Copies of this chain bind each other. A is one copy, B any other.
């Protein structure tokens, strides 16, 4: 049967089908550090909607699992090959089909990279707001499948808020169109939102109509500060919220993360920044303000940061702003230079951020693991990181991660703010959602995918054990 499926695919799609070679190994991974124990049956590089439909018809006729995959930059194992699966790679469907100035929208194929769309939009005086840190390398289809977040979400919204409509291929190959070219539209259920964040388990997203925004006018003002400890940085974050100021971004790096960043960048990169004379235990906070009142807002933030004990640097020129933002951007490379990185993704209500930081410190101490943490402090989304050697996540890191997820949920938060559930977080899904919701969601999946061939094992699909489902690296 499997050989027959591959033959059918080759008959239909020729060279677009790959069934051996290094690519078969590459799709066992994404950027999460996870590696599937199974290469796929085959990879299909779809070049058109019709290709995707052809694959789904073969898959549904034969009951073959399909893993939709974009740029392969996921952080939760949501698009890696599973046992006997077809990896349906959409990265060649990378055409920007339309940019409408007046309607402020773009129509794109799923494989278009987020950064490429944003660049094309900016040539027309528009931009694409959802800005996952991976935007240079991640695809719009993957962004939509995970409802990706980013740095600017507190002000400009998550991916869902920019998706107006979708074209998706259903499990049996049928084409589904959802949504509108208008900001408003309430005809029927919001299938656009239901597919957004569904991680390839309901349908294969092949095309999207997304909202663009006018480029924000005026200079971006950047305020950065080093605080003596996480607590005082937390006071500053609270002060920003209490003053009803909403910077475009507000990023926090905890002392352990900051030490790693400083080592990685070296002294010359930090000259003239608040990290120039970094003391142990210091915390970094970075804000950027845009739009008409950016100057006033930045001035105000600088005062709030100072009165909370921060050593402040302000910048109104783009170059210095970028240099300060580079400190934030260095976080992941700094950690990745020291070993494999497991990036977590809890989000808690902003008011609970101080408690969450305390919980992270306690959990790290109890399990004797370092947990360098980055936070999108404006929206309460934290990325605690674990760095480890070798191919396998050590047990004590798993134990710490487990406590960390539970702490986030206990504080009224969620186990994934923006990366998705994938394979990595499904063990905690029911704990957050409750049985009623999980059961309902399983039944919604059955409506879309009665045979269970779309990305089986991902999110809350039946789990036997992690080892069976390909979780162990």
Interface residues of A (CB under 8 A from B): 100-105, 125-126, 146-147, 149, 153-154, 157-158, 160-161, 170, 174-178, 180-191, 193-194, 196-198, 202, 213-215, 217-218, 238, 241-242, 244-246, 291-294, 296, 347-351, 376, 379-381, 412-421, 425, 429, 432-434, 436-438, 440-441, 443-444, 446-448, 459-460
Chain B residues with Cβ below 8 Å from A419 are: 186
Task: Please name 20 further chain A to chain B contacts, defined as beta carbons within 8 Å, in addition to the given A102-B241, A157-B161, A292-B296, sorted by A numbering.
Answer: A102-B349, A126-B244, A153-B183, A157-B157, A175-B436, A176-B440, A182-B347, A182-B350, A183-B380, A185-B414, A185-B416, A185-B417, A186-B417, A187-B416, A188-B433, A188-B460, A189-B197, A190-B193, A190-B196, A293-B293
Interface CB pairs A-B, < 8 A, 9:
A103-B380, A149-B186, A157-B157, A175-B436, A181-B349, A184-B380, A193-B196, A291-B292, A440-B447
Residues A183 and B160 in contact, CB atoms below 8 Å apart? no
Chain B residues with Cβ below 8 Å from A196 are: 190, 193
Copies of this protein chain in the complex: 2
Chain B residues with Cβ below 8 Å from A189 are: 194, 197-198, 202, 441, 444
Residues A185 and B347 in contact, CB atoms below 8 Å apart? yes
A436 to B53, CA, bound (A): 15
Chain B residues with Cβ below 8 Å from A186 are: 146-147, 149, 197, 414, 416-421
Chain B residues with Cβ below 8 Å from A194 are: 189-190, 193-194
A348 to B184, CA, bound (A): 9
Asked, given contacts A184-B381, A417-B185, A447-B444, whether A178 binds B437 with beta carbons under 8 Å apart, the answer is: yes
Residues B102 and A182 in contact, CB atoms below 8 Å apart? no
A123 to B244, CA, bound (A): 13
Residues B444 and A182 in contact, CB atoms below 8 Å apart? no
Chain B residues with Cβ below 8 Å from A183 are: 153-154, 158, 347, 379-380
Task: Specify which of B177, B178, B182 is in contact with A417 (CB 8 Å cutoff).
Answer: B182
A412 to B103, CA, bound (A): 11
Q: What 3 pairs between A and B have smallest CB-CB spacing?
A: A292-B292, A292-B293, A193-B193
Task: Specify which of B102, B176, B213, B416 is in contact with A436 (CB 8 Å cutoff).
Answer: B176
Chain B residues with Cβ below 8 Å from A146 are: 186
Residues B158 and A436 in contact, CB atoms below 8 Å apart? no
Secondary structure at chain A's binding surface: helix, strand, loop or mixed? loop
A286 to B460, CA, bound (A): 50
Minimum CB–CB distance for A81 against chain B, Å: 22
A415 to B186, CA, bound (A): 8
A293 to B189, CA, bound (A): 37
Minimum CB–CB distance for A235 against chain B, Å: 12
Chain B residues with Cβ below 8 Å from A184 are: 149, 153, 158, 347, 376, 379-381, 414, 417-418
Closest to A419 in B: B186
Chain B residues with Cβ below 8 Å from A126 are: 244
A381 to B185, CA, bound (A): 9
Minimum CB–CB distance for A420 against chain B, Å: 5
Minimum CB–CB distance for A383 against chain B, Å: 11
Residues A182 and B414 in contact, CB atoms below 8 Å apart? yes
Residues B433 and A242 in contact, CB atoms below 8 Å apart? no
Residues B291 and A349 in contact, CB atoms below 8 Å apart? no
Residues B188 and A429 in contact, CB atoms below 8 Å apart? yes
A189 to B459, CA, bound (A): 9
Minimum CB–CB distance for A288 against chain B, Å: 15
Chain B residues with Cβ below 8 Å from A416 are: 185-187
Residues B190 and A147 in contact, CB atoms below 8 Å apart? yes
Q: Which of A105, A294, A416, A447 has the most CB atoms of chain B within a 10 A radius of its CB? A: A447
Minimum CB–CB distance for A259 against chain B, Å: 27
Minimum CB–CB distance for A246 against chain B, Å: 6
Asked, given contacts A191-B441, A441-B188, A441-B189, whether A103 binds B349 with beta carbons under 8 Å apart, the answer is: yes
A346 to B349, CA, bound (A): 37
Closest to A290 in B: B292
A186 to B380, CA, bound (A): 14
Closest to A460 in B: B188
Residues A351 and B443 in contact, CB atoms below 8 Å apart? no
Closest to A413 in B: B182
Residues B441 and A348 in contact, CB atoms below 8 Å apart? no
Residues A100 and B349 in contact, CB atoms below 8 Å apart? yes
